[in-house]
Amino acid sequence: MATALITGGTSGIGAAFARALAERGDSLILVARNPDRLAEMAIELKERYAVDVETISADLSRREDVERVAERVESAAQPIDLLINNAGFGLRDKLLAVDVGPHDRGIDVMIRAVLILGGAAGRAMKARGAGTIINVSSSSGFIAMGAYSAIKAWVTSYTEGLANELHGTGVTVTALCPGWVRTEFHERADIDTRSIPDYFWLGAEPLVREALVDAAAGKVISIPSRRYAVLMGVARLMPRRAIRSVSRRLSSGSH
Ligand SMILES: NC(=O)c1ccc[n+]([C@@H]2O[C@H](COP(=O)([O-])OP(=O)(O)OC[C@H]3O[C@@H](n4cnc5c(N)ncnc54)[C@H](OP(=O)(O)O)[C@@H]3O)[C@@H](O)[C@H]2O)c1
């Protein structure tokens, strides 16, 4: 039986991963800040799927918390077969902002924690000759919507680098690049989504199903749904000038 560790496993995409993996019988380790929500999720999963669930309350913007989670990830005695680096949040603060606190937290949670946990998982899995790492990036990383796009561009590029370092070791690494997904993400970041047409919204469950199929196939970049696969395919062919112009319009429409 496999064991999966999911950061941000209490809500949205992370919770959908937790339910999908519990359904197939995997043991789970959920990481998030809110201990009540961790406990609720653990009870739900144990009752519905009769799987083992461990919880770790950790704030991944704090280095000591990340180190604590990394130790669990690298444990040889209790190995982890699948790491899902998912915890994250929307970041719409201006790049000209004097207070870079929100940017700092974004970089800490969505870059530094991903780097540290990815390294810990990569080393442990390489030593065993098997394992799967999924980094939840974003289609935003292909466009130019401020700090969030820059962070997710890093996550996608980092994933490709890690996949290369682990090539031929039996360990696969996948960047999941979703479009807009209905979760708590937008409300938490105070993002007005009224101008986003229904057509562009994805459900977390089908997204995760497709991501798991892509990861099992060893795909390094996963862009679930035909809609977004086509859109991102077109985006990759467009001149960056045109991407910047589309990004400007999207930024002004979604704030
Ligand atoms: N929703 C979208 O449209 C969309 C699109 C593309 C990519 N994504 C990416 O998908 C990932 C998951 O987002 P979501 O949409 O599922 O959002 P969500 O519903 O708001 O869930 C976020 C999860 O991350 C955890 N988290 C947030 N900050 C944390 C911290 N400092 N330390 C530990 N855990 C933390 C939250 O738990 P606590 O609050 O208890 O810590 C929660 O479990 C993110 O990386 C996001 O960038 C989302």
Supply the Cα-derived Rg of the chain in whole angstroms.
18
Rounded Cα distance, 162 and 173, in Å: 7
Decide whether any atom of ligand 1 lies within 6 Å of the 247 Cβ: no
Q: What is the pLDDT of residues 159-216, one digit of tens each?
A: 999 999 999 999 999 999 999 999 999 999 999 888 889 999 999 999 999 999 999 9
Rounded Cα distance, 251 and 61, in Å: 26
Decide whether any atom of ligand 1 lies within 6 Å of the 13 Cβ: yes
pLDDT reported for residue 255: 45
Is there a contact between 45 and 51 (Cβ–Cβ < 8 Å)?
Answer: yes
- Which residue has the least CA distance to atom 20 on ligand 1? 185
With 70 as the cut, is the pLDDT of residue 254 above it? Answer: no
- Which residue has the least CA distance to atom 1 on ligand 1? 181
pTM of the model: 0.98
With 90 as the cut, is the pLDDT of residue 252 above it? Answer: no
Q: Across the chain, which distance is largest between two alpha carbons, in Å? A: 52
> How remote is the CA of residue 221 from the centroid of ligand 1, in Å?
19
Give catalytic residues, as residue numbers. 148
Say which residue the tokens 């990481």 belong to: 31
pLDDT reported for residue 160: 98
Decide whether any atom of ligand 1 lies within 6 Å of the 145 Cβ: no
The string of DSSP letters for 41-62 reads HHHHHHHHH---EEEEE--TTS
